[in-house]
Amino acid sequence: MEIFWFVVLNIMLVTYVILDGYDFGAGIVHLFFARTDEEKQSIRNSIGPFWDANEVWLIASGGVLFFAFPTLYASSFSGFYLPLILVLWLLIFRAVGLELRGQVHNHLWENLWDKAFGIASLLLAVFFGAALGNVVRGVNLGMVENGISTQEPHYFFLALWNPTFDPLAEHQGIIDWFTILLGVVAVVTLTIHGANWIILKTSSPINTRLKGIIFKLNVVLAILVVLSAILWHYVKPVPLTNLRTYYWTWIFPVAGFVGLMGQFFIRKFKKDVTGFLFSSLFIFGSFTTTVASLFPNMLPSTNEVNPSLTVYNVAAHEYGLTVGAGWFIIAAILVIAYFVIQLRVFKGKMDDIGYGEH
């Protein structure tokens, strides 16, 4: 049952990244590339009916983590307390920016909330990328100093940064050069993804320009992916052991590679959905490659005193996991039905929806 819930958790997380990821990307496009009020309105229209529903996947993932892997939940939510609070505030500001912008028709008011929406989206992409970087790098479980564990084996706490910004330092921080690199990868990835969503859901004049932006950003993304893979090996030697042991797991990096290469042909796609499918495939492939590489670790330990938190040593009791599986199936059917209805109601282009106008 541990493996079942591990798969469920990661499916929910990658679904969240794909769905709310295009919201973040749309916000970044809104911040940097939208030139006119009409283009900005088209971007808001494209995500208006969807963004709040997409965030449900983050809440549901937290619920599954609490239920199925309570030790990991307790360890992560204490150790990553500072960035989690920042993420909470950024989610609030992004939502407030979307909802309050149209309440007062004043240029200063509208510009303030436009910036709140865009900057919050940008920083959320950075922090979620850095979060993945922290998991890949590992943490100092037990707060080991000079070879002695000063806390319980599953406990850790990270400052926002350390003075050296070195991922291999004994006293780590949330932000170092490696986690910032993955944060930049996340920003570029989600900007491309959000741009593809805007192209899919609108007929805005910005779409032609976005195709050129996607191509240029994809060149940057390809370079960053190669660089991050090399530096991952430096931070965590032999990170791809599972891929060499279980050959079937190569389907994940191949999917990511196909998604990355497909986006170079963005100008040639005849259907608007094609670009979005390729960027979704890249997100799916890169996320699952990371998960497959780390398995069975869920939160690696950077010291040799305390073991990593794995699928097996942080899971709840077998009986609870088994009972929960039945309820999960019922919940999954309801959620899928909800999203199918939502997509049918809001199918096609969203140019005339007028989201946020009062």
Give per-residue pLDDT as tens, 50-69: 888 888 888 889 999 999 99
Report d(CA 2, CA 312) in Å as an integer: 7
Dist. CA 276–CA 195, nearest whole Å:
8
In a domain, 107, yes or no: yes
111 inside domain: yes
**175: phi then psi, degrees, rounded to nearest 5:** -105, 120
Is residue 29 in some structural domain? yes
193 vs 109, residue with greater confidence: 193
Per DSSP, 301 falls in state B
pLDDT of residue 357: 64
Its domain, for residue 28, covers 2-345
CB atoms within 10 A of CB 154: 21
Q: How far apart, in whole angstroms, are the C-alpha atoms of residue 256 and residue 282?
A: 4
Cα–Cα distances (Å) from 252 to 19, 156, 281, in that order, read 19, 31, 10
pLDDT tens string 87-106: 999 999 888 888 888 787 78
The verdict on residue 352 lying in a domain is no
| Beta carbons of 255 and 287 less than 8 angstroms apart | no
pLDDT of residue 358: 53
In a domain, 358, yes or no: no
Residue 86 scores a pLDDT above 70: yes
- pLDDT above 80 for 239: no
- Average pLDDT score over residue span 218-232: 93
Distances (CA, A) of 292 to 31, 122, 179, 245, 278: 34, 27, 19, 11, 21
Question: Is the pLDDT confidence value at 343 over 60?
Answer: yes
pLDDT at res. 335: 85
What is the pLDDT confidence band of residue 222, given thresholds at 50, 70 and 90?
very high
Asked, for residue 93, whether it belongs to a domain, the answer is yes
End-to-end CA distance of the chain: 50
- Ranking 21-30, 329-338, 346-355 by mean pLDDT, the lowest is 346-355
- Average pLDDT along the chain: 88
Strands 159-161 and 173-175: parallel
Neighbours of 304 (CB within 10 A): 8
Q: Which residue has the higher pLDDT, 238 or 301?
A: 301
Q: What is the mean pLDDT of residues 261-276?
A: 91
Q: Which of 60-64, 71-75, 303-307 is predicted least confidently?
A: 303-307
Whether the pLDDT of residue 18 is over 90: the answer is yes
Tokens 């999954």 -> residue? 332
Is the pLDDT confidence value at 182 over 90?
yes
Please check whether residue 350 lies inside any domain of the structure: no
In a domain, 285, yes or no: yes
What's this model's pTM, rounded to 2 decimal places?
Answer: 0.92
Q: Does residue 280 carry a pLDDT above 80?
A: yes
Phi-psi region of 310 (alpha: psi -120 to 50; beta: other; left: phi over 0): beta
Q: Domain total for the chain?
A: 1
